[in-house]
């Protein structure tokens, strides 16, 4: 067992030996994975670490439970046999621009091939991206086939209604100087806020300025690719894209207070059609529940909206969120374009979104958006008129920008 795992010895923070060189330096934005260097967030060989935080985002806490209960050996290494990507993505020019991608490791799916020697020598280097293949089976897509909005082609959309995809899971890897730059603040200010707002969970944020990469304990991103992914590097390929932020209540359970699942499904249908007609469809799903304020905050806001004088009102939609959470939205789309850069995209032909924040984040970082596609009115659920009217009033993109008549939602007693 390594020193840090001695039960009588707790390491509160780490300090580099003055003047010592890092064994595994990180040169963010370097032209190859080996020149950039591996991302090492191991907790079992502290001398190898070159980042703040550890692997797996928030799941590190579950790993701690597995270790504390004796179910997991804390020094165990993953066996990466046969885990390599099921489709090729990259490398792209964007990967070697240190300011273009700052919130994920562009080489994160290729660690097993790029650092085979180090891994075989026992260095704990883990992938932060995994790429596999799947079939999606969704009732709305079957209905789209029945209604002849989609047709089976036998390759991407099957007669059963299932859809073939490549899917990619991405854990966040933050290059702190780049994140600070993206948010228009200093790295010192960013590190201090991260340290204080996590109640000192990561002391190295303030004690180790030499460590510039942070593995934050937050949810990651999933990408679903529809069509022939070998067309990704060809800039003539027509790209249809939906960037969706998690809404468990609607996405999974079909709650009718918002438009999330209908819009997600519209995105999937549009992307499947793009994929089967020679283009590529891309759905990006970010774990940013409740505008990244969390589901507890979200449900509190629902109650505050429904119980306010006059009932759930579009005019007060954003205000109620701010009353509970202090901000209207914490998703901060500034980091969202990184995944689009990682896919090598410079243009989105059809952007399935009404969000100005997402649109502006992409265009301000050099991604051209040709056409914006709003959600059709007939897909807006019964209780979601308030959300839609409030968003249109706030300037969200719409083909019909006048707020809808139905701007008062269902009261709590009527569920
Ligand atoms: Zn929702």
- Spell out the per-residue pLDDT of the chain, length 415, in tens: 444 456 677 777 777 777 778 899 999 999 999 999 999 999 999 899 999 999 998 999 999 999 999 999 999 999 999 999 999 999 999 999 999 999 999 999 999 999 999 999 999 999 999 999 999 999 999 999 999 999 999 999 999 999 999 999 999 999 999 999 999 999 999 999 999 999 999 999 999 999 999 999 999 999 999 999 999 999 999 999 999 999 999 999 999 999 999 999 999 999 999 999 999 999 999 999 999 999 999 999 999 999 999 888 888 888 888 989 999 888 889 999 999 999 999 999 999 999 999 999 999 999 999 999 998 888 888 888 888 888 888 878 887 655 554 577 888 888 8
Compute the distance from residue 251 Cα to the ligand 1 centre, in Å.
7
Distance CA 113, CA 300 (A): 47
Sheet of 347-351: strands edge to edge? 129-136, 163-170, 221-227, 280-286, 239-245, 347-351, 368-372
Distance CA 312, CA 308 (A): 7
Active-site residue, selected from the candidate residues 261, 320, 331, 372? 331
| Length of the chain, in residues | 415
Rounded to the nearest angstrom, the gap between the alpha carbon of residue 120 and the centroid of all alpha carbons in its chain is: 31
Q: Give the pLDDT of residue 3.
A: 47
DSSP 33-68: HHHH------SS-GGG--SEE-TTGGGHHHHHHHHH
Which residues is 215 bridged to in the sheet? 53
Active site residue 338: no
Q: Give the pLDDT of residue 406.
A: 53
Compute the distance from residue 283 Cα to the ligand 1 centre, in Å.
16
Q: Give the pLDDT of residue 20.
A: 76
Distance CA 269, CA 330 (A): 28
Distance CA 319, CA 327 (A): 9
How many CB atoms are located within 10 Å of the residue 90 CB?
Answer: 17
- pTM of whole model > 0.75? yes
Compute the distance from residue 378 Cα to the ligand 1 centre, in Å.
17
Query: Could you give the C-alpha distances from 80 to 91, 108, 111, 115, 125, in angstroms and in order?
Result: 21, 13, 10, 12, 10
Q: Give the pLDDT of residue 10.
A: 75
Q: Are 52 and 60 in contact (CB under 8 A)?
A: no
Q: Are 60 and 54 in contact (CB under 8 A)?
A: yes
Compute the distance from residue 382 Cα to the ligand 1 centre, in Å.
13
H-assigned helices in 60-126: 60-68, 111-114, 116-120
Q: Are 137 and 60 in contact (CB under 8 A)?
A: no
Report every protein residue that has its C-beta within 5 angstroms of ion ligand 1.
Answer: 247, 250, 258, 260
Q: Are 339 and 104 in contact (CB under 8 A)?
A: yes
Compute the distance from residue 257 Cα to the ligand 1 centre, in Å.
7
Residue 55 neighbours by CB under 8 Å, 6+ apart = 41, 42, 126, 128, 171, 215
Compute the distance from residue 360 Cα to the ligand 1 centre, in Å.
21
Active-site residue, selected from the candidate residues 48, 171, 251, 329? 329
Distance in angstroms between the alpha carbons of the first and the last residue of the chain:
56
Compute the distance from residue 282 Cα to the ligand 1 centre, in Å.
20
Distance CA 217, CA 331 (A): 15
Q: Give the pLDDT of residue 397.
A: 84
How many CB atoms are located within 10 Å of the residue 6 CB?
Answer: 10
DSSP 295-345: HHHHHHHHHHHHHSTTSSBGGGHHHHHHHHHSSS----GGGTHHHHHHTT-
Compute the distance from residue 343 Cα to the ligand 1 centre, in Å.
26
Q: Give the pLDDT of residue 1.
A: 40
Q: Give the pLDDT of residue 98.
A: 95
Compute the distance from residue 168 Cα to the ligand 1 centre, in Å.
23
Compute the distance from residue 250 Cα to the ligand 1 centre, in Å.
5
Compute the distance from residue 247 Cα to the ligand 1 centre, in Å.
5
Question: To the nearest 10°, the Cα dihedral for 80, 121, 60, 26?
Answer: -110
Distance CA 43, CA 40 (A): 9
Compute the distance from residue 142 Cα to the ligand 1 centre, in Å.
23
Which secondary-structure segment (H or E) carries 371?
A: strand 368-372
Active site residue 329: yes
Distance CA 235, CA 344 (A): 9
Compute the distance from residue 259 Cα to the ligand 1 centre, in Å.
6
Compute the distance from residue 332 Cα to the ligand 1 centre, in Å.
17
Compute the distance from residue 89 Cα to the ligand 1 centre, in Å.
31
Distance CA 336, CA 243 (A): 8
């Amino acid at each position: 067992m390594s020193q840090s795992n001695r039960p009588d010895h707790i390491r509160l923070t780490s300090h580099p030996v003055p003047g010592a060189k890092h064994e595994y330096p990180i040169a963010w934005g370097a032209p190859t994975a080996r020149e950039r260097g591996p991302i090492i967030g191991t907790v079992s060989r502290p001398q190898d670490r070159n980042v703040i935080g550890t692997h797996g985002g928030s799941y590190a806490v579950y790993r701690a439970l597995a270790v504390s209960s004796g179910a997991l050996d804390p020094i165990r290494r993953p066996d990466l046999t046969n885990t390599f990507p099921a489709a090729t993505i990259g490398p792209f020019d964007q990967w070697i621009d240190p300011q273009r991608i700052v919130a994920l490791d562009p080489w994160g799916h290729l660690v097993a091939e790029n650092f085979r020697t180090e891994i075989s020598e026992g260095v704990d280097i883990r992938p932060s991206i995994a790429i596999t293949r799947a079939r999606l089976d969704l009732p709305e897509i079957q209905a789209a086939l029945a209604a002849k909005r989609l047709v089976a082609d036998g390759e991407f959309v099957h007669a059963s209604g299932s859809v073939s995809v490549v899917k990619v899971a991405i854990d966040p890897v933050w290059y702190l100087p780049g994140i600070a730059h993206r948010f228009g603040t200093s790295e010192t200010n960013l590190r201090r806020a991260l340290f204080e707002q996590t109640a000192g969970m990561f002391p190295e944020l303030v004690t180790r300025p030499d460590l510039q990469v942070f593995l934050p304990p937050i949810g990651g991103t999933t990408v679903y690719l529809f069509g022939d992914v070998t067309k990704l590097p060809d800039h003539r390929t027509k790209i249809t894209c939906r960037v969706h932020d998690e809404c468990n209540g609607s996405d999974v359970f079909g709650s009718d207070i918002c438009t999330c699942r209908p819009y997600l499904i519209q995105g999937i249908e549009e992307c499947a059609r793009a994929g089967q007609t020679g283009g590529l469809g891309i759905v990006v799903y970010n774990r940013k529940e409740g505008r990244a304020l969390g589901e507890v905050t979200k449900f509190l806001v629902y109650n505050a909206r429904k119980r306010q004088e006059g009932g759930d009102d579009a005019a007060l939609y954003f205000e109620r969120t701010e009353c509970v959470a202090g901000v209207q939205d914490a998703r901060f789309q500034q980091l969202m374009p990184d995944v689009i850069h990682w896919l090598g995209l410079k243009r989105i032909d059809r952007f399935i979104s009404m969000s100005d924040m997402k649109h502006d984040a992409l265009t301000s970082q050099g991604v051209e958006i040709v056409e914006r596609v709003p959600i059709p009115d007939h897909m807006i659920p019964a209780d979601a008129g308030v959300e839609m009217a409030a968003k249109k009033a706030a300037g969200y993109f719409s083909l019909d920008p006048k707020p809808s008549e139905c701007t008062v939602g269902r009261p709590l007693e009527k569920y």
